[in-house]
A and B are shown apart, each in its own frame.
Chain A
Amino acid sequence: MTFINRQIWTKTIKQVFFIALIVLVAGFASNMLRSDKIPLVEDWSAKSKFVTSSGENLEISLAEASTLFKEKRSVFIDARSKEEYENGHIKGAISLPYKEADLKFVDAMAGISEDSALITYCDGETCELSMELAVFLRNTGYKNVKVLSNGWSVWKQNGLPVETGE
């Protein structure tokens, strides 16, 4: 029994070594050859999701966002699709789906001055629509735009006011 085990473990170590070698070669080669190759090491911290190209961090905490909400000092902008917005959104939020932002921008933002504090949000940790929309809005002239990361989920989970429909 012990002898069998020792045999197996010797084999295992050899095999793990060869598997690692195959994976190293396959990984490197495929990444070298493909057109959408990724760098081996990337600076993720500087590329933090909510930092603009000019280095400004747009992220706002839930605490700050809910304070601004309660004091009615900011406008929430929902970057998700119209359907998702209608299924539920932060109370009083405006729907401006990022994918149709060019078309819907004028109507959606009518009556909101460029000095207003805006908070964009979407849903999910990996959702980038809110950040993209924030950058878009800043380019159109809105100075004060922040992003609430994973906004819809955290808002709902914390029992803050929501509504459904248009």
Chain B
Amino acid sequence: MKEEIRQKFSMSLYHGARIILGIVFIYSSYDKILHPAAFTKIIYNYQILPDELVNLSAIFLPWLELTIGSLLITGVWLPGSVFISNILLIIFFCALMYNKARGLDISCGCFSTSEGEAPESTLYLSRDFTFVVIAVYLFFKVFITNSAGIKSPSRRIP
């Protein structure tokens, strides 16, 4: 009985994490898809990517976020979407850390393309870190404990 409750809890945690992360991705893509030109400036201001890649990232990154978000929420193609979300979130987190370390307190552009967003880099870092933790947890669930239920001959059929 206890084991059953534990397992139920574990599964709700897993589904909750995947849906929350999906919402985060879709929410963050929305404003960027609407304002690509403003998003290019934000990417440029991060001063990490070479100039040639600034506009290309502004064109494709929001769509990647939207796609990943939708896949996470619907639970379709989970290994692929969880894998990409880990890579994306770790890159975002490193970009924020890098710019904090070199004292470049820029508008984060995490969720919005407006310049009014206060540059509270520590807040952004801890928020991003939370997302990284959720993503790593999902990675563990999907790739190690196989919670997505990827079929294989070794799996016992009840």
Q: Which residues of A contact B (CB under 8 A)?
A: 1, 3-5, 7-9, 11-12, 14-16, 18-19, 22-24, 26-28, 30-31, 34, 36-45, 124-127, 153
Contacts and interface: CB of A to CB of B under 8 A. Distances in A.
Given A30-B63, A38-B55, A8 B146 contact: yes
Contact of A18 (B45, B54, B77, B104): B77
Contacts of A36: 36-37
Interface string B23-65: 0000000000100110011101100000110111011100110
A11 B104 contact: no
6 contacts: A4-B150, A11-B150, A15-B81, A38-B59, A125-B119, A126-B45
Secondary structure of the A contact surface, majority rule: helix
Contact of A24 (B42, B55, B60, B106): B60
B142 interface: yes
Secondary structure of the B contact surface, majority rule: helix
B84 A19 contact: yes
In this complex, the member of A16, A31, A43, A125 whose beta carbon has the largest number of chain B beta carbons within 10 angstroms is: A125
Contacts of B150: 4, 7-8, 11
